[in-house]
Amino acid sequence: MSQELHLDEFERLARLFGLIAVRAGEVVMNARVDACRPDYKADGSPVTAADLRADELIRSCLERNLPDLPVISEETCPGASPSEAERFILVDPLDGTKEFIQGRDEFTINIALIHGGSPVAGAVYAPALHRLYMGGTNAYKLDTRASEGTLSFSKMHPIEVRVAPPEGRRAVVSRSHRDAATKAWVERHGITDLRPSGSSLKFCVIAEGEADVYPRLAPTMEWDTAAGHAVLLAAGGTVTDLDGCPLRYGKLNYRNGDFVAWGTHQDVPK
């Protein structure tokens, strides 16, 4: 009997999302030459050919493999009303578009399953860094260069959050969206060790024990956070609003409020 048959549903879905994200990563990398010529959406945010081609591939793969699940994607469902389904998929085909346009490597492909308002399976892939993170029942990291052309889950290794060190927490902060509110939050909590990062990789940095907290006191959409949130939850972390309540999904227009991603639950300050 194959190992796949022993996996629970969320583990299987996380791997499926990982496979699809890696395929989308190939499309994104092939379109990177056109990144310097973006178009702009009505809200002023940039969109490239890579965003649109990756979106098309991901939705096509999901329709073939999970035809009964609604798919909400940044590029095809902006401003949509929240899904009434108990389960739905959130997709950000290219998170960190600004990093992508600027020639940085910290952009990601994100796919997550939402069940009952919570992300229960997700994959985050950074194609330029060859890093694939998956979270279902457990969390894993895979260097896709080790797969030699064929993605092999046998080469992935488990990841988990760390206990914050005695010398203090390390915060991972947005490279492109540094704001006064986040700076004040970090200072109020006495955090001096800051690690800049782009896209949904900030969740994954905490999930693999390289940082302890990620405060985000600026607007985000649910497709920006769902996959990284799923990875972090599977690694033992949590994401809460500023009152300490879990961040939920399926909100009006899929907009998030302020939140903080934590590596450990113990003694979490507000």
Task: Kindly report, residue by residue over 207-236, the tens digit of the pLDDT.
Answer: 999 999 999 998 899 999 999 999 999 999
Which of 121, 130, 92 lies closest to 109, judged by CA?
Answer: 92
User: What are the pLDDT digits (tens) for 14-27?
Assistant: 999 999 999 999 99
The predicted pLDDT at position 75 comes to 79
Which of 255, 204, 261 lies closest to 74, judged by CA?
Answer: 255
Q: What is the largest CA-CA distance in the chain?
A: 55
Confidence check: pLDDT of 244 > 50: yes
Confidence check: pLDDT of 241 > 50: yes
The predicted pLDDT at position 143 comes to 93
The predicted pLDDT at position 32 comes to 80
**DSSP assigned state of 254:** G
Which of 139, 137, 145, 114 lies closest to 124, judged by CA?
Answer: 139
Give the mean model confidence (pLDDT) for residues 244-264: 93
Confidence check: pLDDT of 51 > 90: no
Q: Kind and range of the H or E element at 29?
A: helix 9-30
Q: 82: pLDDT confidence band, cut at 50, 70 and 90?
A: low
CA angle 133, 112, 195 (to 5 degrees): 45
Domain boundary, last residue among 89, 123, 158? 158
Report if residue 163 sits inside a domain. no
Cβ–Cβ under 8 Å, residues 203 and 216: no
Residues 50 and 184 grouped into a single domain: no
User: What are the pLDDT digits (tens) for 53-73?
Assistant: 999 999 999 999 999 999 999
Q: How far is CA 114 from CA 82, 223, 254, in A?
A: 12, 10, 12
Domain boundary, last residue among 114, 132, 158? 158
Q: 98: pLDDT confidence band, cut at 50, 70 and 90?
A: confident
The predicted pLDDT at position 42 comes to 55
Q: How many domains does the chain have?
A: 2
Residues 146 and 199 grouped into a single domain: no
Cβ–Cβ under 8 Å, residues 219 and 126: no
The predicted pLDDT at position 1 comes to 29
Residues 178 and 87 grouped into a single domain: no
Give the mean model confidence (pLDDT) for residues 156-180: 88
Residues 212 and 254 grouped into a single domain: yes
The predicted pLDDT at position 249 comes to 95
- Structural domain range at position 116: 3-158
The predicted pLDDT at position 50 comes to 86
